[in-house]
Amino acid sequence: MARAERKAAAAESALTGVMTHRQIMFVLFGLMAGMFLSALDQSVVGTAMRTIADDLNGLSAQAWVTTAYLITSTIATPIYGKLGDIFGRRKLFIAAISIFVFGSVICGFATTMYELAAFRAIQGIGAGGLFALALTILADIVPPRDRARYQGMFLAVFGSSSVLGPLIGGLLAGMDSFAGVTGWRWIFLMNIPIGAIALLLVVSFLHVPHLEAKSKRIDWWGVLTIIVGVVPLLIVAEQGREWGWASTNAISAYVLGVVGIVSFIIIERKMGEDAILPLHIFKSRTFSLTTLLGVIVGMGMFGGMISLPLVLQIVYGATPTESGYLMIPMVMGLMTASILSGQITSKTGKYKIFMVLGTALMSVSFLYLSTLVYTWAIWQISIGMVIMGLGLGQMMQTLTIASQNAVEAKDIGVATSSSTFFRQMGGTLGVAVFLSILFNSLADKGSEIGKKIQQAIAANPGLLNDPRNEAFSSGQDINALIQTDSSFLKTASPALANPIKQAFAESTASVFIAAAAVVIVAFGLSLFIKEMALRTKSGVQERAEQAAA
């Protein structure tokens, strides 16, 4: 009887889009498995990149492995949103998982860093759809009023991956081989079973009706111009510190990017409803301001957060794996705030308060961390992490819900992918800008560092005879060495290492001040966002009713 009831419920949901909590949970498991693929991959690969580059003799090319993935995943995000509206999100999500797993397999057999960069680009094409499509599918099956409760689970996926990623990456990178395959290659090959589970769950349980789009015209010119506009800007964001922000390469990228963006806007205006990014969704003041808020928060969040692992590794001597563990306080704050804010939003229908409170807490955390000195104990940094996590946990899901709720049901796909896309662009810009602030500030302190080190050597000439201080006697550029391999600070004599740690802590503090300024702007903007009543029907229900009418 129970089996017959389950079949009847599945048949009903396929027709009406109304799903039981049990059905929703099974779909969520599939969506979270897909998102876990992407989230875990990024943190794992980052931890093991040094080992991979050494094995493939391509240390100088490692930046392109990251850049290739970033470019394709970012560009693919808005494209998946539009194609999902046309052909159905279930098909696109299955395709995204399949492309990601295929990319993972070929990455596992790369023989050069340039091959790995090309294969990571393919992997990124799949990754671009995993996050945005998962959020959109959730919007299809769950009303906005209840969505926050479920989205908290997605944030839990990212939280757990940020902790597990460095651990798994460090473990696999440290293995010579497993089952006859080099250890680091399993970083990519382990995606095969995870992807298989995700595909099985999605194919088995994700059954919601897809209402045919009135037009199936694909905006190919929009695809081309968004590539021309975004790719140069992403490349210069990744390579700008090496090239120089005012170099010929950088200026060429700026010009090409602006030409591409202007062309994209002109084409999207002409394409109307068929555009990849329909401009009419920006007529909603709430959507526009929420999207802008997402960009600013992304800048501050990623720009500020990028400094924390560096501080833990350079100032405190933590390994990448250990720094992942030390970030747990932030993850716990994020998950706690996400769950509580989701429950409150579901019961009250109110969400604006979490934008205001979230940006306020993030501002407080960055201002607190801007007082960082190298003599701080770990628990003092952890306080800032907890506050930051409490702010982020309220912001991330609230921004998505507000964006989705501000547009018509037929535009949920493009609205979700657009807000995700702009947030990613903001984050990329934030990382580029704040890393430049960090290392430019450190370079400015070079003479001061050198003076203190020379004073320490003059006071104790025997320091240079200590093999632990070899880096200081080899004539290397200490600033460049910090950016490539800071492990020498772990064993160096405190008299020589402390001036560097002090300067790095001070430089990081300047980053946190800049991040605080950005997030304070976001806090001011959040006050002007109009809160709209959360709808009580899912996207599929609303589209079905509109079609019937």
Per-residue model confidence as pLDDT tens digits over 366-381 = 999 999 888 899 999 9
Q: Which residue has the higher pLDDT, 265 or 452?
A: 265
What phi and psi values does residue 411 have, to the nearest 5 degrees?
-105, 10
Residue 171 shares a structural domain with residue 251:
no
The mean per-residue pLDDT over the stretch 145-168 comes to 75
Average pLDDT, the chain: 82
Structure-token pair, residue 298: 């992304």
Name the E strands within 165-251.
Answer: 177-178, 181-182
**Is the residue at 363 inside a domain?**
no
**Is the residue at 364 inside a domain?**
no
pLDDT at position 487 is 65
Residue 443, classified by CB atoms within 10 Å of its CB into exposed (0-12), middle (13-18) or buried (19+), is middle
Considering its fold, how many domains does the chain have in total? Answer: 3
Helix (H, G, I), strand (E, B) or coil at 33: helix
pLDDT at position 16 is 52
Residue 176 shares a structural domain with residue 228:
no
Evaluate if residue 446 carries a pLDDT over 50: yes
pLDDT at position 98 is 93
* Residue (of 172, 68, 84, 4) closest to 412 by Cα position: 84
Evaluate if residue 7 carries a pLDDT over 60: no
Is residue 209 within 8 Å of 541, Cβ to Cβ?
A: no
Q: How far is CA 59 from CA 64, 305, 464, 509, in A?
A: 10, 25, 29, 29
Measured distance CA(276)–CA(93) in Å, rounded: 17
* Residue (of 516, 515, 512, 492) closest to 504 by Cα position: 512
Measured distance CA(485)–CA(171) in Å, rounded: 19
Residue 45 shares a structural domain with residue 80:
yes
**Is the residue at 110 inside a domain?**
yes
Per-residue burial over 89-126, b if 16 or more Cβ lie within 10 Å, else e, is: bbebbbbbbebbbbbbbbbbebeebebbbbbbbbbbbb
pLDDT at position 371 is 92
Structure-token pair, residue 442: 């450190």
Confidence of residue 214 (pLDDT cuts 50, 70, 90): low
Looking at the chain, the whole-number percentage of residues with pLDDT higher than 90 is: 17
**Is the residue at 399 inside a domain?**
no
pLDDT at position 405 is 86
Confidence of residue 1 (pLDDT cuts 50, 70, 90): very low
**Is the residue at 99 inside a domain?**
yes
Q: How far is CA 484 from CA 78, 477, 479, 545, in A?
A: 34, 11, 9, 58
Measured distance CA(85)–CA(137) in Å, rounded: 11
Residue 104 shares a structural domain with residue 237:
no
Cα 130-136-141 angle, rounded to 5 deg: 125
Confidence of residue 18 (pLDDT cuts 50, 70, 90): low
Residue at which a domain ends, from 233, 254, 275: 275
Residue 121 shares a structural domain with residue 257:
no
Q: Which domain holds residue 211?
A: 11-216
Structure-token pair, residue 35: 């998102």
Q: Count how many residues are written for the chain.
A: 549
Structure-token pair, residue 242: 């090496």
pLDDT at position 475 is 59
Is residue 42 within 8 Å of 128, Cβ to Cβ?
A: no
pLDDT at position 4 is 54
pLDDT at position 213 is 61
Evaluate if residue 511 carries a pLDDT over 60: yes
Residue 106 shares a structural domain with residue 226:
no
Residue 27 shares a structural domain with residue 93:
yes
pLDDT at position 483 is 61
Residue 209 shares a structural domain with residue 250:
no
Residue 63 shares a structural domain with residue 185:
yes
**Is the residue at 125 inside a domain?**
yes
pLDDT at position 480 is 64
pLDDT at position 174 is 73
Question: Per-residue pLDDT tens for 447-473?
Answer: 787 788 788 778 877 777 777 767 676
Query: For helices 352-369 and 378-405, what crossing angle results, to 10°?
Result: 150
The mean per-residue pLDDT over the stretch 396-406 comes to 86
Cα 341-347-352 angle, rounded to 5 deg: 50
Q: Which residue has the higher pLDDT, 85 or 96?
A: 96
Residue 95 shares a structural domain with residue 244:
no
What phi and psi values does residue 463 have, to the nearest 5 degrees?
-60, -35
Residue 229 shares a structural domain with residue 245:
yes
Residue 275 is which amino acid?
A
Residue at which a domain ends, from 490, 507, 524: 507
Measured distance CA(217)–CA(202) in Å, rounded: 27
**Is the residue at 246 inside a domain?**
yes
The mean per-residue pLDDT over the stretch 270-297 comes to 88
**Is the residue at 173 inside a domain?**
yes
Residue 250 shares a structural domain with residue 184:
no
Is residue 406 within 8 Å of 532, Cβ to Cβ?
A: yes
